[in-house]
Structure formats: structure tokens, C-alpha cells
Amino acid sequence: MIAPVPALALSGPEPAASFFWAVYETGLPTKFNIILPGALKRLSDRLKITIRDVARAAGVSVTSVSRHLNGRISLPDSTALKEAARHGYNLLMLNSRNLVDHELAFLARIEDHQVDGILLLTNHSDDGRLVKCINRTGGVVLLDEDVPGARAPRLFARNADGARMATSHLIEKGHRRIGAIAGPHGLLSTTERLSGYAEALEAAGMAVDNRLVVHCDYDENQAVGAFKELFEQPDPPTAVFTCGDMLALGAMRAARGMGLRIPEDVSLIGFDDISNADLLSPALTTVRQSPAEFGRRGVAMLLDLITGRKTEAVTERIGVELVVRASVAPPSGRRLWRSASNTGSEPPTGGLAPAREEVTEN
């Protein structure tokens, strides 16, 4: 089988959003081209290709790479590469920049016999073309987000469980007015995480206030506007659950610009546990899903599909855990309202948050 040049490409004006991990068989040693603006490095497959390696090769911060990746799931752990190599396969990462035409072109590589299978991480609702293509080509495992109607195995996080844990943690701290910054309408992660949020509120005897739920893309800049929308209300929340850590980063930026302190004035909790979430100021309390487990199990499912060992469209779930850090505290009772057009002066800034013990809850 003719193998394409394996490359991990992160470039272009749009933030990276959809990724394909293509699996193909080859007996040749593999090199990975890491392509970023102003940088081109070659790394052996003997190295662990992580987000830190990408940042080091590109000469940028880990946070910059996290933002470029749009913050959903970090680069799959080296266990994915090892799992594929153990069966004589290599991995190729393709970035569609969230453009469906690119995604369709990548899927066509299965029909052209350039690759044997694809792990698909999409980040937008399907207009019908993706599901039609997947059902025609086969050889696809869906990771993290769904393509409804696709005849394909699926591997998702326990989204509702994670959101329920996060919201319950805020309730246990005494919060009764809890806002949510959610992802786009129609995405599996958005629907399931909001479901867990609502279940936790209802279990505590609180109704969901739709005025406290704001949707935006999984994008830090859009989350700034979403946070401001919540806090322009006469009775804003005392805590905010975000459906992704990149949304939490945007909320932190917005809070700083509005003169609000986290967690003294408003508590904040995320989902994903992106790289360096523990180094934010304050360190972000969040729900962790494991890129290592996504990589390991995703490759195993795809190899089962390619070899015909398992062909049914099963759905599996990856466990999540609550990581308690420093961005959540009991409500202060202070009335929090500040117009987005009257942001006031920047609050005092300091270094990294003081070290605190990290606690996880399964």
C-alpha cells in the first residue's frame, strides 16, 4: 500500500478545530513534520509527540498551541502511536480547519487506498454530507463528537457525568445561581454537558434559568463575549460552568477586564483539563478526560474495524474525573454587575497562583 507523507500540520488563519488521525500500514520508519508558522522540524516517531513537543519545535508557548488546537482534546498521547506501531501501522494527522470540503477530501483517501482507516474528531454539525461519505467509505471511528446516522464505532467521554460532577461541586460550595457557557447547538458534547448541568441543578431543587445559559463556538474569544452577556444581567451568576477549558480561558479574560476576581467574586469551572490548566492564575478547577485513553482505545477500535474483528457500530465511553484546584470558592455575597461597555480598570495582576494541593474525584 502506498503511504502518504506523514505530517502533523497546524497552519492557516482559522483555529484548528477538526482533526483526522489516519491509520495506514507501512514497514518504513516514520518521521513527523511539525509545521507551524515560522517553524519546520522533523521528529522521529521514537519521540513522544505531545503538545509540549509541538510548542518547543515551533518556539511558542504551550498555551499558544492549546489555543491553536481550539482546546477540545490535546494531541493524542504517545500511547496512540505505540498502539498503532505495535500492529504495524503508522498515524498521520490531518487538520481540516473545520471545513467540510477538506473533511470529505480526507475521507476519500480511504476509497483511494491511501489510508486504511480514519479516527475523526469533528467540531461542527453535519449538513448531511459527512454521514453520507462515512457510510460509503467505512473505516471510520468517531471520537469526541458524533455524526448522527453514521454507521461507525464511536468513542466519547462521559460528558453528562463530568458536567454533573462540576455543577454539583459548585452547589456544594454554596452557589445557587450558576451560569453555563456552552458550545455550539447541535454538538454531542454541548447537549450532554448541558444535560449533566441541568440534572445537577434539578437534583438540588433548582430550576434551569435559560437566561444563564449562553452558547458560542469552542473559541476563547467568543467566550469573552458570552461571559460579558451573563454579567450584563441585573442578577448575574455567582459561578460559571464552562463546557470546555478554552471557554474558561475566555471567561477569565473577560472577568479580568470587568474587574472581577476569580474565585473571590465569581467561581469558574471548566471541562477537558487542557495542558497547563494547573498553571493558570488561579489554577483551573476542571473535568479531566484522558487524551491517552482516547488515543489508546480509539486506535484499538479502528484496528478492530480495519481487520474485520469487530464491524458493529458500538459506542464506548471514556471515564472522567473532577480535578479540584483554585478557581472555585463559596459565593461572596457581593453584587456583581458591570457593563461590558464600562469595564473599568484592570485589576492588580500577579504571578502564578500559589501552589495548592490538587484533588481529583472520580
158-162, 258-262, 307-311, 357-361: segment of lowest average pLDDT: 357-361
Do 84 and 186 lie in one domain? The reply is no
Do 218 and 237 lie in one domain? The reply is yes
pLDDT at 256 over 50: yes
Do 111 and 236 lie in one domain? The reply is no
In a domain, 14, yes or no: yes
pLDDT at position 331 is: 96
pLDDT at position 337 is: 46
Do 142 and 177 lie in one domain? The reply is no
pTM of the model: 0.74
pLDDT at position 22 is: 54
Write down which residue in 152, 180, 208 finishes a domain.
Answer: 152
44-48, 76-80, 229-233: segment of lowest average pLDDT: 44-48
Do 27 and 107 lie in one domain? The reply is yes
37-46, 174-183, 329-338, 339-348: segment of lowest average pLDDT: 37-46
Write down which residue in 101, 135, 152 finishes a domain.
Answer: 152
The backbone region for 113, taken as left when phi is positive above 0, alpha when psi lies in -120 to 50, beta otherwise, is left
Do 167 and 242 lie in one domain? The reply is yes
CATH assignment at residue 237: 3.40.50.2300
Do 233 and 345 lie in one domain? The reply is yes
Do 218 and 344 lie in one domain? The reply is yes
Mean pLDDT of 33-45: 29
Do 138 and 182 lie in one domain? The reply is no
pLDDT at position 90 is: 73
Distances (CA, A) of 202 to 24, 44, 85, 162: 47, 51, 47, 16
In a domain, 298, yes or no: no
Do 115 and 238 lie in one domain? The reply is no
In a domain, 305, yes or no: no
Write down which residue in 105, 130, 152 finishes a domain.
Answer: 152
pLDDT at position 79 is: 67
Do 262 and 344 lie in one domain? The reply is yes
Question: By the 8 A CB rule, do 346 and 338 touch?
Answer: no
pLDDT at 174 over 50: yes
In a domain, 281, yes or no: yes
pLDDT at 260 over 70: yes
CA atoms within 13 A on the CB side of 53: 20
How many domains are contained in the chain?
2
In a domain, 302, yes or no: no
- The alpha carbons of the chain give a radius of gyration, in whole angstroms, of 21
Q: Residue 60 and residue 177: Cα distance in Å, rounded?
A: 39
Q: How confident is the model at residue 56 (pLDDT cuts 50, 70, 90)?
A: low
pLDDT in tens, 64-118: 444 444 445 554 556 667 777 777 777 777 777 778 888 898 888 888 878 888 8
pLDDT at 24 over 60: no
Percentage of the chain modeled with pLDDT above 70: 69
Do 114 and 167 lie in one domain? The reply is no
Range of the domain at 335: 159-288+322-361
